[in-house]
Amino acid sequence: MEQEGIGHKIRRRDILKAGVWIAAGVAIGKCLPGPDRSEHASHAQQGQATHSAYMPQISKEPTPTPANAPWTGSKVIHVHDAQATYWDYGSNYYGNYVNQAVVNEMVDRGVRELTDAATVAEAWRAIIPDYVPGKAIAIKVNFNNCTSCSICESGCEDWQLKIDALVHPINALIRGLELAYPSLSYSDIWVYDATTGMGGREIPSRFVDSCQYIGVRYFDRSCHNPVRYNSTSPTAYVTWRNPSGIPNLPSTKVADVLVNATYLINMPIMKKHGGAGVSLAFKNHFGSIDNCEPLHDWVSANWGQYYSAAYSPLVDVYLNPHIAGKTRLTIGDGLFGDRISNYDRPTPWETFGHAAPNSLFFSTDPVAIDSIMCDFLHIEGYQSGIVGMSDDYLKLAEVEGLGVYERGDPWGSGYERIEYNRFEL
């Protein structure tokens, strides 16, 4: 059994309480041309919208915000590249139509801009500091639509093409970590999803077989290293803070893979959810605890019998020290995303020129990154956008010091408290 690592706590509460005031500018990224990728041009879909059709003009200089805007330290980086995917939305698995070289560039750019580092290696050393072999880096992926080990070898609901995690950002992440730490042990990379839901979630062979690094460890319900909840540490339990009048929640723990890891990277998919409205960085951690299914009564704004704007278990789950205290980075997967729900196949986004979003989002602030992905899902407008209560949990998370909540227009005037930077490769 691996020894429990020492986490590096993100002191967002201290940041929010700081009495520092500066002009926090909405720094809109300067467009820099990427390398020539003409060899990939044949993959572009016929009739695909041009950049100008769906990516607004990006200013070369920061847009100032009011002089009294508080400094929050919250930054969200959005990297877009139209050549990242080239699926025709047909009957073949969409994950086979992602350009790994382009995703590598997107991740490299994202972490450099997030950390203001001169090189990719410096960026990853800032994100994952003091790594030495034996310090595990857990990565929370989302396989919400893979529900049975019997399909591990044949693929995870391939015939339905429901939205699930892609391996390409994982490959890019490991590549960057190896630049930062040549001594990186692939066995210290722990990719996991422990969601129960309507049956245990599994990581399918199509994902594992496409990983470029042999030795990475996978944790799920039964296909690979089985997820366990055997830790006797009191910190393994989620502490529920439901106020008076809201029914008590069932006892639950975080998975041992989190207790034993030193660092955590959260990799949600940008998608809507039939009950909660959205499923992003916070809800992705329903796959970090045992038996999340009953909790939907507390988080589903559409039908949850115990739902309240005054309380969200999503916040309490995130406050667990093995999540809030170990999370070093959130990468929002918007390569395809799901504009319709959490269990549909990807479809073209109207706001991205009838194409895939081809986007990745980067932040150390889970509240800010969810706020921006909420805005993209809302502006997309499927069935009148997201339910009005879908972001209640983000307001509560800000109160708990987990980050900065702000809703805005990611295509237009942007934000005042969140430093939102958009880059077109």
Asked if residue 4 is part of any domain, the answer here is no
Return the pLDDT at 20.
30
Pairing mode, strands 75-80 and 137-140: unpaired
The one-letter code for the residue type at 408 is G
Asked if residue 1 is part of any domain, the answer here is no
Asked if residue 408 is part of any domain, the answer here is yes
Is it the case that residue 343 has pLDDT exceeding 80? no
Distance in angstroms (rounded) separating the CA atoms of residues 336 and 249 = 34
Q: What is the percent of the chain where pLDDT is above 70?
A: 77
Please classify residue 19 by burial: count the beta carbons closer than 10 Å to its beta carbon, then call 0-12 exposed, 13-18 middle and 19+ buried. exposed
Give me the number of domains the chain comprises.
1
Asked if residue 279 is part of any domain, the answer here is yes
> Residue 328 is part of a domain; what is its CATH number?
3.40.50.11440
Asked if residue 136 is part of any domain, the answer here is yes
Average pLDDT over residues 301-322: 89
Average pLDDT over residues 296-310: 81
- Residue 400 sits in which domain range? 12-424
* 146-159: pLDDT as tens digits: 665 444 444 455 55
Beta-carbon count within 10 A of 241 CB: 14
Return the pLDDT at 53.
34
Return the pLDDT at 116.
96
Distance in angstroms (rounded) separating the CA atoms of residues 267 and 335 = 12
Asked if residue 73 is part of any domain, the answer here is yes
Asked if residue 327 is part of any domain, the answer here is yes
Distance in angstroms (rounded) separating the CA atoms of residues 316 and 251 = 12
CA 241 to chain CA mean position, Å: 25
Residue 277 neighbours by CB under 8 Å, 6+ apart: 301, 302, 386, 387, 389, 390, 391
Asked if residue 153 is part of any domain, the answer here is yes
Pairing mode, strands 75-80 and 359-363: antiparallel
Q: Return the biggest CA–CA distance within the chain.
A: 61
Confidence bin at 87 (pLDDT 50/70/90): very high
Q: Strands, DSSP E only, in 8-115?
A: 75-80
* 368-418: pLDDT as tens digits: 999 999 999 999 988 777 777 889 999 999 999 999 999 999 998 789 999
